Structure 1
C-alpha cells in the first residue's frame, strides 16, 4: 500500500492516521511540538491537573466508531466515559439560575418552567423539535460525506424550519440565530441560553445562520460526556491506538514545504533539509500555515474559502483549597451581564474597557486532577477576539479579573479558597497548535451563503488532503474525528468514496 505523511498530531490527524494504518498504509506523523493532541492538552502543577483545551465531549459515537474500526478494544476499554448530569447550570444576567438535566427533553422542559416561568420550557422544547429537523436535514451532507462540488446547495438552503413571524405587514422567517431567539423563544434568558451555544465557538448570533440550532440539539440528543482523568486521556488513547497500528510519530519535526512531483504532492521537506517521500500528504494545520507550505493556490474561485476571522479562547486555571461541595455542577455557564455587547466585541474589539463575556466554569469531580480530597481544580474559559492585543499585560490582567468576577457566581467563597491561578492566553494556543493568533475553528454550519462552511478535505493539489478543525466539517472534537474518517475514506476508496455508512 501507499506511504502517507501526516503533518500535525492533532485529533483529526491521528483519527486519519489510525484508519489509514489499518487499511495497510505506512503512516508517519510529523509534529512540530514534542507531544500529540493539538489543543487537547493538560497543565499540571503542585498535584493539580487541568484540561487546557476542550473540557467536555459531545457525540462520543464518533470516537467509539474510530476504536471499533481500528482494533478489538472498544473506546470504553481505553478510557472511562462519564455522562455529566446536570449537563450545565446556567446563571443569567438577572440572577436567575437553572440546572438542565443531561439528554432529557422532559427534564429540561420542567426545569425551565420552574426557573423561568410557565411556558418557557414548552417554547424551548418546541425549539428543540425544530432543531432536530435541521439536524436530520444536514447530518449526512454536512458531517458524514465529503464536501462535494455542489456545496452551494448547503449554503443556500436554510434547513431550520423557523416559525413564521408577522412584523408590520410582512411575514418573515428567522434566518439568523438571534432572530430565532427573539421571535421564537421570547425570553431574554432563553435567548441567552440559545446564543451561548454559538458564542462558545466564537460565532456571532446576529450573523450565525438559524441552522446553528443544531449546536444545542447535539448536546440535548447525544448528551454531554467527560473523560475520567481529563480530556487529555482521550488524546492519549487515540495516540496509543495509532502506535498499536504501527503509525510512526516524529516529534519536534518542523515541516517547511510540501514536495511536489508531476503535479501532485509527493512528500514533505523538514527543517533540517531532509525530504520524506510519500504517495499522499495529510495536513492538520491552519490555513495560513498550509498555504505557506505549498507553491500554489489550494482553492480556486467557486471553492469554499478558509475563514480568516476565527476567534480564540482565554483560560484561567484555579487551584482551590477546600473540598468541592456536594452537588456542585460540573459545568456552570455564567452569562454576560450585557449580552448585546459580547458579539460586538468578538467581531470588532476595541476600547479600554472590554465587556465581561459569557464564562464557562468547569469543576470536574475527578481525584486524578487534585492533590487530595481537600483541594479542587477549576477551569474558567471565555471565547475572545484573536486580535485584542493579548501581548499587553493590561489586557491579560483585565480579562483575568473579568473571568474571576464571573466565577464568583459559580463558586461560593472563591477569593478565600484561591491558592493560585495560571493564565492561558491565546499565545499559548498559538504555540501549541501553530494556529495564527491561537485561533480556534468553529463547526461547519449550513446556510449563511457558505460563510460557515470549511474547505473540502481534498485540495486542488492532487495527493494533498486536509484534516482537523480547519477543514470540512469544522472544529470541535466530534467534527475533528469525522474529518479523519473522511480523509481516510477518500484515500482508501478514492473519489468514489460517498461517506461513512
Structure 2
C-alpha cells in the first residue's frame, strides 16, 4: 500500500483519488480552498441555486465508468441524469432558428433542412460522418491512453478527412475548422453552428485545426445531459464516493512545496509548515501553481509538449427572475453573434476582449431544486471572454459591466421580458475562475486536439520528477468534464500498473 498525496480537489483529482483508494492505496487530498470540485461550484442566494462552472455534462460514460470501478452503486444511483432534448436551440444572426434533437443524425438533418432550406441538413450530416472518422482516429490516443512518447506523430497528422476543394488551378483540403465550414458547409448559419462549438472551448476557428470537428461530433454522438440539482451534484457524488473509499480530505490547505528525496517526489509541504510524506504525488492544479511548488525541478523534460497557453476565459451571468418558466422552454439556447468576424477579432485580436454582441449560451433548466418556488426561474448566461491576467482593476470592473449588459441584451432576443422579470444578477468572472483554479487570468483549458503542430495537446501525466504525476484539465487529455475524468483514470493506471500501462479499456 502506497501513500499518495493529491494536490487539489478538482474533478480529475478526485477521480484519480477514488480509483487509487480502491486499488488499496492510502490517499490524502490537500485543497487550497474551502471545498471540493475545482471550477465546478455553486452559488446559492434567496432560494435560487446556480452552477457557476459547467452547466451540462457531455459524454457521461466517463463518469459511469468511474462509479462502476469504485463501488457498487452506479452513477445513476447517486445522481439523476436527464437527457437534454432538444440538445440546443440555435438562433442565428438573420433571425433563423433551429432546434437540434439530442443524439440523432437523421433528426438533425431533417431539422436543418426545414429551418435553413433543402440541402443544409445533408451537408451537416455528411460533415458529421467525416467528423466521426476523425473521432475514431483520435479517441484512443487523445482520450483513453497516456500521451504517446512519440506525440509529434499526433501533432503532424490531420485526422479529419477533408473534402478536396478546387480553387482556380489548385486543389486543397481544409486545414482549419474555418476552412471546413467555408468549403464544406458553405451556409453562414451552418458555419456559425460549427464554429460556436470551438468558441465555447475558447478556440479560434480560424486557426483551430480541422481536427476540432470532433467537438461538435461528441455533442451530437453522445448527447447532452443535465444533472438534477446542477452539475455541482456530480461533484458532490464524486466527493462522497472518495469518502466512502476512505480518501482523506484536508481543506484550506495550500501546498507550497513538492518534497524530493533521492531524485523522486517524496511528499508535500503545506503553507503552515506541515509536512506530509508520500510515495507518489498527484498534482491537479494549474501549471503556474505547480511550477511554484517544484521550483528546483524541470517538471517537463526537453521535447515535452508545452501545453496550451493564452486561452480565453468565461463570463457567466446568473439571473434570478420572477415569473414561472414558460411551458416548452428549451433548456439550452445558443444566440449567435451578429457579426462573426468581429466577434473573433474582438476575442483573439489585440487587445482581446469581447464583441459588443457576442455569442451567448442561455441555460434555462426545468429544475424545481434551483428556485425558491415555481413562480420563479433561474437563468444562466455564458460567453467566452479574454482572460484577464493580474489583479482585477477598476477598469476591468467597468469592462465586465459592459460585457454583462451586452450579454443581457443578447439574451433578450430569446427572453423578451427578461429585464422586467429580473430580481437580481450575479457575475462569475475570469478573476473568480482564477481564484478557485489558480489558472492565470482565469484561462480555461480546452480538450486536447491533434494536428496544429501540437499546440493544442497537453503535457503527459508523467513528469520529469519520478513519482510526480499531473491530473485535470491542464494535463493530458485536457479540459472539460469528460477529459478531466479520463485524466484521473490514466493517472491511476500509471501508478497502479506502472509505465507499461497502455490505457483505459
Which structure 1 segments of 5+ residues have no match? Answer: none
Residue 378 of structure 2 corresponds to which residue in structure 1?
A: 377
Deviation at 1:303, TM superposition (A): 0.7
Deviations 1:417-447 (A, max 9, x none): 1111111111111111122111110000011
Deviation at 1:344, TM superposition (A): 2.2
Residue 418 of structure 2 corresponds to which residue in structure 1?
A: 414
Q: Contact 2:356 / 2:403 at 8 angstroms: preserved in 1?
A: no
Residue 355 of structure 1 corresponds to which residue in structure 2?
A: 356
Q: How does 1:255-334 map to 2 (within 5 A)?
A: 255-294=255-294, 295-334=296-335
Q: Contact 2:388 / 2:431 at 8 angstroms: preserved in 1?
A: no
Deviation at 1:212, TM superposition (A): 0.4
- Say which SS state the counterpart of residue 499 (structure 2) adopts: helix
Q: Contact 1:349 / 1:385 at 8 angstroms: preserved in 2?
A: no
Q: Contact 1:349 / 1:388 at 8 angstroms: preserved in 2?
A: no
The CA RMSD over aligned residues, in Å, is 1.2
Residue 434 of structure 1 corresponds to which residue in structure 2?
A: 438
C-alpha distance in 1, partners of 2:317/2:468? 37
Whether 2:172 is the aligned partner of 1:172: answer yes
Residue 160 of structure 1 corresponds to which residue in structure 2?
A: 160
Which structure 2 segments of 5+ residues have no match? Answer: none
Residue 499 of structure 1 corresponds to which residue in structure 2?
A: 503
C-alpha distance in 2, partners of 1:41/1:94? 35
Deviations 1:78-115 (A, max 9, x none): 00000000100001111111110100111100110011
C-alpha distance in 1, partners of 2:389/2:278? 40
Q: How does 1:8-407 map to 2 (within 5 A)?
A: 8-294=8-294, 295-350=296-351, 354-387=355-388, 391=393, 392-407=396-411
Residue 428 of structure 2 corresponds to which residue in structure 1?
A: 424
Q: Contact 2:333 / 2:363 at 8 angstroms: preserved in 1?
A: yes
C-alpha distance in 1, partners of 2:51/2:90? 21
> Number of matched residues?
501
Deviations 1:340-386 (A, max 9, x none): 12222222343898432211000000000001100000000111110
Q: Contact 1:134 / 1:159 at 8 angstroms: preserved in 2?
A: yes
C-alpha distance in 2, partners of 1:349/1:188? 25
Q: Contact 2:347 / 2:355 at 8 angstroms: preserved in 1?
A: no
C-alpha distance in 2, partners of 1:254/1:218? 36
C-alpha distance in 2, partners of 1:71/1:353? 45
- Say which SS state the counterpart of residue 377 (structure 1) adopts: strand
Residue 485 of structure 1 corresponds to which residue in structure 2?
A: 489
Q: Contact 1:113 / 1:120 at 8 angstroms: preserved in 2?
A: yes
C-alpha distance in 1, partners of 2:488/2:389? 32
- Say which SS state the counterpart of residue 496 (structure 1) adopts: coil
